[in-house]
Structure 1
Amino acid sequence: MATGLGHLLSIGLGLFYCTTGLPKLFSFIPAHRVLKDDFVKFATVFPLKPLGIVPNPTLYMYAVGVIEFGAGVMLGLGSHEQQVTSAMVLFGIMVGGLYTLVSLGRKQTDWIPPIVCMALLGLYLFQTL
């Protein structure tokens, strides 16, 4: 288990990713409807589209939600190896999220959340490795 700043980052980021994953999974959460509409757009610029892989937007949203929630739990509560692995997985999700926003031509201020998340995950990984 990480100590000091690494421990705080693992707990805080784990909680954050659990709360961002839940609205993608449960339709009774108000943000679910907005996310569902967003993932229709996100699927059009899926990073593997040049290879002919275009996901179903609903399944794409659920997959991201499961990964965020599961990796968030592992980041907050798992063993050191699980925390490091989940931080790397979440970093990859954020790279994909940033790629999606850039590809959709979203304004640069929309890029801030994934960039901040990548910075915090990178800081966590730097602190613990």
Structure 2
Amino acid sequence: MALVFVALRVLLGGFFALTGAAKLWPLSAPESEQMKALFVQFAEVFPLKLFGYQPDPMNYQTTVGWLELLAGLLMALGPPILQEISNLFLTLLMMGAIFTLACLKECLSTCIPAIICLGLLRLLDICQSLVQTKKVGRYCRKKSVLKKPWEQRVSSCQL
């Protein structure tokens, strides 16, 4: 079962790394223009706009691209602590994507990839938590050989 989750983590990390790279280095001019137009719309409904911050669409695209690329690589290839951190960043990013698509009133079929990615990220996080709980549980189950202090005194007095 652990092998399945390792494979899922590597595949999901690779997916995010590729989507981040596509945002940073589009393969064609029409794709680049379409991506720019999308991020102009995304910047219009940016969640922090309520607090007076609206990002530049090009900087927004670059930031999301680098975040996806680096977090995806760390999720796929990094040590466990960096995998957890990248999972957190990607989870927040997917929540932001779903919020953005909902604010733009996009159809459900547009939101499905972000929802699936969010679900898979949460699944990986839950499985990682269960593995850590099992490790801690193994250490806690060992019984103490030492008696309680009052039991030691009683037994020494009886000798």
Q: Shared fold by TM > 0.5? A: yes
Task: Write the letter of the residue equivalent to 1:13.
Answer: L
Displacement of 1:33: 2.5
Task: Write the letter of the residue equivalent to 1:64.
Answer: V
Q: Distance in 2 between matches of 1:19 and 1:34?
A: 17
Q: Distance in 2 between matches of 1:100 and 1:74?
A: 25
Q: Is the 1:6–1:128 Cα contact (8 Å) retained in structure 2?
A: no
Q: Distance in 2 between matches of 1:112 and 1:45?
A: 19
Look up the match of 2:46: 46
Runs (4+) off by over 4 Å? none
Look up the match of 1:109: 109
Displacement of 1:45: 0.0
Q: Distance in 2 between matches of 1:22 and 1:36?
A: 15
Q: Which runs of 5+ in 2 are unaligned?
A: 130-159
Measured against aligned partners, the alpha-carbon deviations of 1:37-81 in whole angstroms (never above 9, x if no partner) come to 100000000000000000000000000000000000000000001
Q: Distance in 2 between matches of 1:96 and 1:66?
A: 16
Displacement of 1:6: 2.2
Displacement of 1:110: 1.0
Look up the match of 2:136: none
Count how many residue pairs are aligned between Structure 1 and Structure 2.
Answer: 127
Q: Distance in 1 between matches of 2:36 and 2:128?
A: 35
Q: Is the 1:24–1:65 Cα contact (8 Å) retained in structure 2?
A: yes
**3-state DSSP class of the match of 1:4?**
helix
Task: Write the letter of the residue equivalent to 2:13.
Answer: G
Give me the TM-score of the superposition, normalised by structure 2: 0.77
RMSD: 1.3
% of aligned pairs identical?
A: 35
Aligned positions of 1:25-104 closer than 5 A: 25-27=24-26, 29-30=27-28, 31-104=31-104
Q: Which has the higher contact order (CA 8 A, sep 6+)?
A: 1
Displacement of 1:118: 0.4
Displacement of 1:128: 1.1
Task: Write the letter of the residue equivalent to 2:67.
Answer: I
Q: Which runs of 5+ in 1 are unaligned?
A: none
Q: Is the 1:20–1:65 Cα contact (8 Å) retained in structure 2?
A: yes
